[in-house]
Amino acid sequence: MTLLILGGTGEARELAKELVARGEHVVSSLAGRVARPKLPDGEVRLGGFGGPEGLARWLTENDVDAMIDATHPFAERIGANAAEAARATGTPLLRLARPGWTEQPGDTWHWADDLGHAARLLPALGDRVFLTSGRQGLAAFAGLGLWFLIRCVDPPGVPLPRRHEVLLDRGPYTVEKERALMERHDVGVLVTKDSGGAMTAAKLTAARELGLPVVVVRRPPRPETASVSTVQGAITWIGTATKGSPA
């Protein structure tokens, strides 16, 4: 089979590795927004497809048997494009999405619908913010007079909050280092997206241990499609999926 993985996540890389080892023809598509992405096994393409029409054309021209959307939980645009292209071409589509985080005893979480909502919550929670929502959408915080420690993989664009420090780093992180980082910068509140997974979850434990409030941005809605939460579940689905018939 020829399989297209819309990737960029650890789950996408793990899935590609498993499928390549099984002898499948795997093409992993990365958005190209990260300067030095971790590349998966198998064939890799970088950049967009040109909307749902371009993706549908690519699926047809490359005779793709099934498509797996294993993108980040907040990559809603490619998710919508994938669903539309799958309908147009009859290509079986699976969403591989790791579960979101759940509040634990001792946590003080404040849920936000989006980054703008998160920014509106902050003034009442603390004046020194650890912002870990990535480099996209930082303009939502630019008008606040709070101090921000902004952590992201690549340098962010403008506008940024007037009072800030940028920390370029990539997970996984440990609880001990996250706690030390927050203490060193006298952080009063943490902001994160509900990305899920273990790679960046240590900050939540550190915030709990320090008694800090956390603003958690909810995941955006995704199109209704077949969905699994594990790589093994995706492999099982692929074994039953054939082009032109629902999985």
pLDDT in tens, 157-189: 999 999 999 999 988 999 999 999 999 999 999
Predicted local confidence at residue 66, as pLDDT = 97
In a domain, 247, yes or no: no
pLDDT the model gives residue 32: 72
Mean pLDDT computed over every residue of the chain: 94
pTM above 0.85, yes or no: yes
Check: CB of residue 3 under 8 Å from CB of residue 25: yes
- Looking at the domain assignment, is residue 246 inside a domain? no
Domain of residue 199 covers 109-217
Name the DSSP letter for residue 63. T
Tell me if 92 is assigned to some domain: yes
Q: Does residue 95 share a domain with residue 9?
A: yes
State the CATH number of the domain containing residue 24: 3.40.50.720
Spatial separation of the C-alpha atoms in residues 35 and 85, rounded to whole Å:
27
Structure tokens at 96: 């591989």
Beta bridge partners, 150, equal 131, 166
Residue 35 lies in a domain: yes
Q: Are residues 213 and 192 in the same domain?
A: yes
Give the mean model confidence (pLDDT) for residues 35-44.
87
pLDDT of residue 242: 57
Q: 42 and 116: one domain?
A: no
Question: Please, which pLDDT band fits residue 35 given cuts at 50, 70 and 90?
Answer: low
Asked if 140 contacts 125 with a C-beta cutoff of 8 angstroms, the reply is: no
Question: What is the band of 245 on the pLDDT scale with cuts at 50, 70, 90?
Answer: very low
Specify the pLDDT at position 243: 47
In a domain, 104, yes or no: no
In this structure, the answer to whether residues 140 and 71 fall within a common structural domain is no
DSSP string, 29-41: EE---SSSPPPPS
Instruction: Tell whether 152 and 197 lie within a shared domain.
Output: yes
Average pLDDT estimate for 128-147: 96
Confidence of residue 223 (pLDDT cuts 50, 70, 90): very high
66 located within any domain: yes
Given a contact cutoff of 8 angstroms between Cβ atoms, the answer to whether 18 and 231 are in contact is yes
* Residue 150 covered by a domain: yes
Q: Say whether both 126 and 49 belong to one domain.
A: no
Q: Are residues 94 and 120 in the same domain?
A: no
Residue whose C-alpha is closest to residue 192's, from 202, 184, 183: 202
Are residues 86 and 14 both part of a single domain?
yes
- Residue 189 has a pLDDT of 98
Place of tokens 């404040």: 110
**Quick one: pLDDT at residue 171?**
86
Residue/partner pairs of 105-110 with CB below 8 Å, 24 or more apart: 106/208, 107/204, 107/207, 107/208, 107/214, 108/211, 108/212, 108/213, 108/214, 109/213, 109/214, 109/215, 109/216, 110/213, 110/214, 110/215, 110/216
Overall domain count for the chain: 2
Query: Is the pLDDT assigned to residue 247 strictly greater than 60?
Result: no
- Cα-based torsion angle of the residue sequence 131, 133, 137, 138 in order, rounded to the nearest 10 degrees: 10
Which amino acid, 170?
A: R
Same-domain status, 210 and 195: yes
Average of per-residue pLDDT across 58-85 = 96
Element (H, E) at 163: strand 163-168
